[in-house]
Structure 1
């Protein structure tokens, strides 16, 4: 750093320290407590020390914390000092001007009034200016500077910006059609003309409707093949019913033997034989029902299995149904229940059949 720069920085630090004395000596304000004011004074002292050590980012944070408690001309002046040294010239110029307005007519801020004028004049000369104008094809485009859209007033005047790179872009709808980076040094003045050279997107041609007679014919759906599950269920139920009927038929035979023993082989039985006779009637009835259901279930199950297994059943339903009935009739035994068969005893029933 040159000696002139060192002397200038030293003068700024001395001025900041002198301006801070007004804050530290100011009487307490009614809106803050004594504890808040004491903390603000401590933060201000820390900010001055950090600024003297050339740690402006940390000093700026301290001064902003003080401004949240008391926004005095002295605090605003020191915020502007730090921003100017960090290259934030536009923000520093604004805070210098606010500090000058706050110090105007305040006898306790005469030091701010005495020092802020030269600071403002210096920054007004140092701040670069950027002029952005609409070029060919950009009349309806949205112009942005560093991501912020510009209004008509900003487009018609020079824009003060900080030294360094800046991005000028243009958008049409949701598309970015122009993007340019402009770098400015202190005291620079540049003009950027935004021209949109990208051709407009061609409208998509309408989709031609397909002629109604060119649609391919719909392929016929294959006929659903009948399931064999119902036939198997009915067949199984028929077999189970037949087994139950056979079991009770065997129990009936045992009951008949017990009656023969009680009655002595004739038709007259003592009263003690009545429970056995009633049990025989019950067994006979259950056997008749079980065997009847079993025969019907087996016949129906076989018929369902035969009709479900024929692939041509849908094409020739009558022939398939007739064949199923013939197959079912040929393969199923037939039986008849005889309520009073010859030779039946007090239990009363017999079963006759052919196979």
Structure 2
């Protein structure tokens, strides 16, 4: 019984579409079409009727829309709405039914449309789902979109008719999407969705213009500016102290070498050739000690300067007092250096002898 009912319904649709297609023979109401255009439109309409009867509504809709580009009669619009309704495009179908009803009103050649379109409109108005979208907390200034299209104030204050199926509701503030929700509706459904934004982005602060088009970046509010680290100063100071300690070690070795040289030379300024290695070693120790102590003094001075700068965020120049103290310490350390000079040809020495001049 169900199959017979379906077949009977399909034949009724085909018969209705065929009867409505008679209006294509009527003379044009807007612009004059050629005989070829009208013949092609009639052929397309018949193809659309056949496709609709075969339940190929997508292809039939394309044929009817091609006919409408030539001649928009109430019958053509009615058949477009019929195909859209069967494809689930209920909102568009309702609109085309209403346009067909308005076009058929008072037209004696569109009595068939007037006889059927009222029932189609009533049926679709009851079947079309209704979706209400409201602004919640944090969404008062956001742009609300339904399936990618921005909604106006009137649409936000009323129920929106939508086709059955899933729909994407999103909210944007500027170029940033701050909320998204997917809602699925069935026929005759009515749903309300409230858009809330938990953490809306803060409005950007205007940047003051700088020469050359550069933009000044404002520091984050509430966060203190980071203070300079003391680690570099401590590292440099430690390295200076270590270098000074190495210099002190070589000063001790130098002192022992001088004592050995004094013993070999007998306390005068003439030394035998056998004392040359000792003198060379003393010269090496002296050079290393001087270099290490010099680096140590410089490291201590630089380390103190870095520590002073890191201790004050407003310091623009190094502490001159610390630098003077470091320089004075360097002078005091340099004053304690004992110098020795080995002279290969000194007055009073023989050809192969060496002269040692010492100073403290």
TM range (shorter): 0.5 to 0.7
Distance 1:71 1:214, change over 3 A: farther
User: 2: distance between equivalents of 1:156 and 1:130?
Assistant: 11
Task: Choose the corresponding residue for 1:213, options 285, 307, 316.
Answer: 316
User: 2: distance between equivalents of 1:191 and 1:153?
Assistant: 16
Partner of 2:238: none
1:130 aligns with 2:143: no
Distance 1:80 1:206, change over 3 A: same
User: 2: distance between equivalents of 1:60 and 1:83?
Assistant: 7
User: 1: distance between equivalents of 2:38 and 2:73?
Assistant: 12
User: 1: distance between equivalents of 2:19 and 2:110?
Assistant: 11
User: 2: distance between equivalents of 1:140 and 1:200?
Assistant: 11
> Greater shift after overlay, 26-35 or 52-61?
26-35
Tell me the secondary structure at the aligned position of residue 316 of structure 2.
helix
Distance 1:202 1:54, change over 3 A: closer
How far off is 1:202 after superposition?
9.3
String of CA shifts for 1:114-143, please: whole Å, max 9, x gaps. 011100000000000000001111101110
How far off is 1:8 after superposition?
3.2
1:17 aligns with 2:10: no
Partner of 1:57: 58
Query: What TM-score do the two structures reach when normalised by structure 1?
Result: 0.56
User: 2: distance between equivalents of 1:181 and 1:15?
Assistant: 39
Partner of 2:78: 77
Partner of 2:26: 26
Distance 1:112 1:202, change over 3 A: closer
1:166 aligns with 2:269: no
How far off is 1:21 after superposition?
2.1
- Matched ranges for 1:329-348 at <5 A: none
How far off is 1:211 after superposition?
6.2
- Matched-pair contact (CA < 8 Å) for 2:23–2:73: no
Distance 1:214 1:83, change over 3 A: farther
Tell me the secondary structure at the aligned position of residue 213 of structure 1.
coil
How far off is 1:47 after superposition?
0.8
Partner of 2:281: none
String of CA shifts for 1:194-252, please: whole Å, max 9, x gaps. 0111253597861869968369xxxxxxxxxxxxxxxxxxxxxxxxxxxxxxxxxxxxx
- Matched ranges for 1:1-355 at <5 A: 2-3=2-3, 4-23=5-24, 25-27=25-27, 31-201=32-202, 206=219, 213=316
User: 2: distance between equivalents of 1:115 and 1:158?
Assistant: 27
String of CA shifts for 1:291-338, please: whole Å, max 9, x gaps. xxxxxxxxxxxxxxxxxxxxxxxxxxxxxxxxxxxxxxxxxxxxxxxx
User: 1: distance between equivalents of 2:114 and 2:203?
Assistant: 62
- Matched-pair contact (CA < 8 Å) for 1:28–1:37: no
- Paired positions, count: 214
Which 5+ residue runs of structure 1 have no aligned equivalent? Answer: 216-355
Query: What TM-score do the two structures reach when normalised by structure 2?
Result: 0.55
How far off is 1:10 after superposition?
3.3
Which 5+ residue runs of structure 2 have no aligned equivalent? Answer: 205-216, 227-312, 319-360
Partner of 2:271: none
- Matched-pair contact (CA < 8 Å) for 1:103–1:110: yes
User: 2: distance between equivalents of 1:64 and 1:45?
Assistant: 13
How far off is 1:180 after superposition?
0.3
